[in-house]
Structure 1
């Protein structure tokens, strides 16, 4: 209820209420952007554009209870826009995989890094997992945000869980064999 009051205040031009609302969502939005974009600089761009669009469009939000899902939908659209731009960009030089320290560390350790497995999922599956498990959105809310049916959300979650399970179990068994 406090959020709804802040939303109504922000709609009337209260800048402090708007800042409070965004501070509450900031880490969740960043985590979602990172899941989609994988690059910190792109995440910052997406969050900045999202903040600006939410600020400009907040006056038109009819139902304050949908604020969070509305903001998430704007963020996902911004992330997708950045991905489209990235596809048109020609990369001059990339770091060879053998020099990527993050993967080298993971391969040498026996630990299971769930986040790295999630990052390897197809984008549609990755977003469903993050919204459901990290952002605690209901299946209906996810369906609304992604503009798909609840059945499609359930199917994506099921498929993602199955793929993650296949990834995790071999690592677990390998780790137990090495001990």
Structure 2
């Protein structure tokens, strides 16, 4: 049985009330979902909150999912909504313990040569970062990404193209920095 059919079978079992099937589904998706939440929220405690809320909402409304083959896409949409909700509530909250101890004085472009690819992805604008994450780290097709983000296929392609260009420039800049450093 291929992975998609296996996942679909587990979803159907979970919809019939099999809690263990639901737990297996979320354990299978947990690393990917956590990675997506981390790319949006940055803080582990917020990621845990978003994941917990996503799990609860998915469990409560699993019976409303009409097409089990879209379970992963459905859960990702719930997670993104939860992450956005946490970001909105974070904007309204000022936490004094999070005041930075020192102000960073280095320039963004000076720091690029120190980045690895994942760090470069994390520096992208949120709309680009999410598309890159869903496409490369979650292996979602463009059509599903468009559905999850409620944008057109063309918008997904445009964001991927823009993000790839930015990442290419960062990697190129990184290599130039290493070459210049190594020549001394």
Fold shared, TM-score > 0.5 on shorter chain: yes
Partner of 1:41: 45
Q: Deviations over 1:133-171 (max 9, x none)?
A: 001000001000001000000011111111111222111
Cα distance between partner residues in 2 of 1:120 and 1:73: 22
Cα pair distance change 1:175/1:157, threshold 3 Å: same
| Corresponding position of 1:6 | 10
Deviations 1:44-72 (A, max 9, x none): 00000000000001011110000000000
Larger mean Cα displacement after TM superposition, 164-173 or 125-134:
164-173
| Contact 1:112–1:172, Cα closer than 8 Å, also in 2 | no
**What is the aligned counterpart of 1:139 among 142, 149, 154?**
142
Residue 170 to residue 68, structure 1, CA distance change in 2 (3 Å):
same
Report the CA distance shift for 1:10/1:129 in structure 2 as closer, same or farther (over 3 A). same
Q: Select which of 101, 104, 118 maps to 1:96.
A: 101
Alpha-carbon distance between aligned partners in 2 of 1:118 and 1:97, rounded to the nearest angstrom: 24
- Alpha-carbon distance in structure 2 between the residues aligned to 1:97 and 1:60: 49
Paired positions, count: 172
Structure 2: 5+ residue runs without aligned partners? 105-110
Q: Is the 8 A contact 1:37 1:79 kept in 2?
A: yes
Match of 2:60 among 51, 56, 69: 56
Give 1:18's aligned residue. Answer: 22
Provide the rounded CA distance (Å) in 1 between the counterparts of 2:7 and 2:44.
Answer: 28
Q: Name the CA distance, whole Å, in 1 between partners of 2:152 and 2:62.
A: 26
Distance 1:168 1:3 in 2: 36
The one-character-per-residue Cα deviations of 1:13-70 (angstroms, maximum 9, x if unpaired) are 1010000100110000000000000000000000000000000010111100000000
> Secondary structure of 1:121's partner?
coil
Per-residue CA deviations over 1:71-115 (Å, capped at 9, x if unaligned) read: 00000000000000001011314223568xxxxxxx6xx654111
Superposition pairs of residues 57-72 of structure 1, within 5 angstroms? 57-72=61-76
RMSD across aligned positions (CA): 1.8
SS at match of 1:19: helix
The match for 1:169 is 172
